[in-house]
A and B are shown apart, each in its own frame.
Chain A
Amino acid sequence: MKKRLAGRRDSMAMERKKGSFLEKNLHIIFPMPAVIFVVVMMLFPVVYTLFLSFTNWNLTSGMPLSIVFLKSYQKVLQEPRFIAALGRTFSFTALAVAVETILGMIVALILNREFRGKGFTKLIMLLPLVSTPVAIGIVFNLFYDPTIGLANFVLTRFGLPRQAWTGSAATVIPSLAIVDIWQWTPMIALILLSGLASLSSEPYESARVDGATEWQIFWRITLPMITPTLLTALILRTIDALKTFDIIYAMTGGGPGYASETFNVMAFKYSFEYFRMGQASVILVFLFMLVLFMSLLIVRMRKSLEL
């Protein structure tokens, strides 16, 4: 009887001890599976890509890979297509994000009041964000179709000349940017809207007492107070715009010619159409340096703004 009791006490102590081991190391054990997963699935591939960028591996040639150090870099950098894609990535991003920010701000300011149907309006604004980009791209292709598309119908109605939209090198980037703007302006607007809702009303009241105009109130009070939110939304959106792939690949495949080929699309083609893994890796290294730089910017900005 006594023995049994002691045994039980022992096992209880054991259990507590086991529990306390888990408990003491909870901050390591709990995140462990997620960390291992991300390391295996992300960090390892990134390192592997870095390694491949120093090789001339080509999957179709059947030759074993050989280390050529910076030769692949040299080859890619000398490729006019690379510089053009780089410039295009930036111009697409700048155009889309600039318009999205301005429109998003205007929409947020308009919606930032109580009115009937506000919930419904916000619901409508959510829909583009959750839509499948490939499908959206195809719907816009129907709009842009030179012969049956609605876009040209509207233009001709206003007496304007027909456009080739995604069919010509001159208009393809703005045409694609319109799709991005349609899909992501609501996101900036919604983020700003919830930022605006969290602002304190005090400065507004005292400004009104002092007789400030709405315009002054926006520039002197609203804009400075919303800047942290605006910047975070802006950077997140910029990073995503730099990576835009689905709509471009689905709508134009980077064409006509290479006229809408961005970094991401070029990397995709080098990897999965030409199977030039060495050179594709070089493009990828540049792409993630770009994204890493933007990410560090976020961290810095968060620190300096004490978000």
Chain B
Amino acid sequence: MRAAVVRKILFFLVILAIVIPVLFPFLWMLTSSFKTQVDIVAWPPRLIFSPTLQNYERVFREQNFLKYFMNSSIIGISAVSLSLFMGLPAAYSIARYKQKRLSMFILIARLMPGISFLMPWYIIFSRLKLMDSYIALILSHMLITLPIIVWIMSSYFESIPVEMEESAMVDGATRQRAFLSVVLPIAGPGIVTSVTLAFIFSWNNFMFSQVLSMERTKTLPIAIYNFVSYAEVDWGAVMAAAVAIMAPAIILTMIFQKYVVKGLTMGAVKG
């Protein structure tokens, strides 16, 4: 009996040893975002301080973060929507016609280093006078979102029994009709998974936006990066900005936890 209790406590401590290191940077970021510069540079680091909202005020009032927030949202949502439009039929076709080569081709887009497309895009987009345009950013982000959607959805469609469509087709529906009115409505969980992950990866993208965007279409990761390039770093404001950037992705993850785990691990486990 006692041994069991001791074991339980030990196990709990082991779990804490896993959870705390993972959580710690988030907690430090969050607490620092409520500190004044004086409290942040204090030595030894202060755990007790009087919290302030001035950092958030500075980030949203003076730094125009709301605009970058909008830019990130517009680009992310557009890239994901367009990718769904192209990716869902492609994923369905890969699943039902066993197009292994096609799925490899799309997978390579996921594996290739982004910079190998970025340089040519930079040249082409500047020639077309599309630098700092939403079109250029959305197109580039689609190369992140499309492979994620195809990759997740093709294995999701595979897991839907073919009989579902076949019975509809016996009743006279065409295959494309069966796809639209039978398969898609039950593919909801898969679509949620792929959309969540695709959006998060677009939201977090730094390299494409760093090169292709300037003031007009600047996204959040670029905004926070520019923020620390000043000589004297305003740590409190930077931490507030970091909280603001990560909050949407973290909230989405909390809401769609199950789907996100599935989406991230699916590829490796199932193949």
Task: Kindly specify which of B56-64, B184-192, B258-266 makes contact with the partner chain.
Answer: B258-266
Residues of chain A in range 87-123 having any CB-CB distance to chain B below 8 Å: 107, 110-111, 115, 117, 119, 121-123
A69 on interface, CB distance cutoff 8 Å: no
| With A135-B246, A136-B25 as contacts: A45 and B121 at CB distance below 8 Å | yes
Report which of B112, B143, B150, B254 forms a contact with A288, defined as CB distance below 8 A: B112
Report which of B25, B106, B114, B200 forms a contact with A182, defined as CB distance below 8 A: B25
Task: Kindly specify which of A33-41, A74-82, A203-211 makes contact with the partner chain.
Answer: A33-41
A110 contacts B264, C-beta separation under 8 Å: no
Alpha-carbon gap, A46 to B119, bound state (A): 10
Alpha-carbon gap, A121 to B14, bound state (A): 12
Complex interface: chain B residues within 8 A of A31 (CB): 89-90, 93-94, 99, 102
How many interface residues does chain B have, given as a range? 35 or more
Scoring B43, B45, B143, B269 by chain A CB atoms within 10 A of each residue's CB, the highest score goes to B269
| With A45-B120, A124-B19, A190-B265 as contacts: A130 and B253 at CB distance below 8 Å | yes
| With A41-B142, A124-B23, A134-B224 as contacts: A27 and B41 at CB distance below 8 Å | no
B43 contacts A147, C-beta separation under 8 Å: yes
Complex interface: chain B residues within 8 A of A291 (CB): 111-113
Residues of chain A in range 25-54 having any CB-CB distance to chain B below 8 Å: 26-27, 29-31, 33-35, 37-38, 41-42, 44-46, 48-49, 52
- Encode B107-139 as 1/0 by CB contact (under 8 A) with A: 111011111111111111000000000000001
Report which of A30, A125, A126, A138 forms a contact with B224, defined as CB distance below 8 A: A138
Query: By DSSP majority rule, is chain B's interface helix, strand, loop, or mixed?
Result: helix
Report which of B15, B19, B122, B235 forms a contact with A272, defined as CB distance below 8 A: B122
- Encode A132-172 as 1/0 by CB contact (under 8 A) with B: 11111011111100011010010000000000000000000
Alpha-carbon gap, A297 to B28, bound state (A): 40
A-B contact pairs, 8 of them (CB 8 A): A48-B120, A135-B242, A139-B239, A143-B25, A148-B42, A232-B269, A232-B271, A245-B206
Q: B residues near A, CB below 8 A?
A: 11, 14-15, 18-19, 21-23, 25-26, 28-29, 32, 40-45, 85-87, 89-90, 92-94, 96-97, 99, 102, 104-109, 111-124, 139-140, 142-143, 146, 150, 174-176, 200, 203-204, 206-207, 211, 220-221, 224-225, 228, 235, 238-239, 241-242, 245-246, 249-250, 252-254, 257, 260-261, 264-265, 267-269, 271
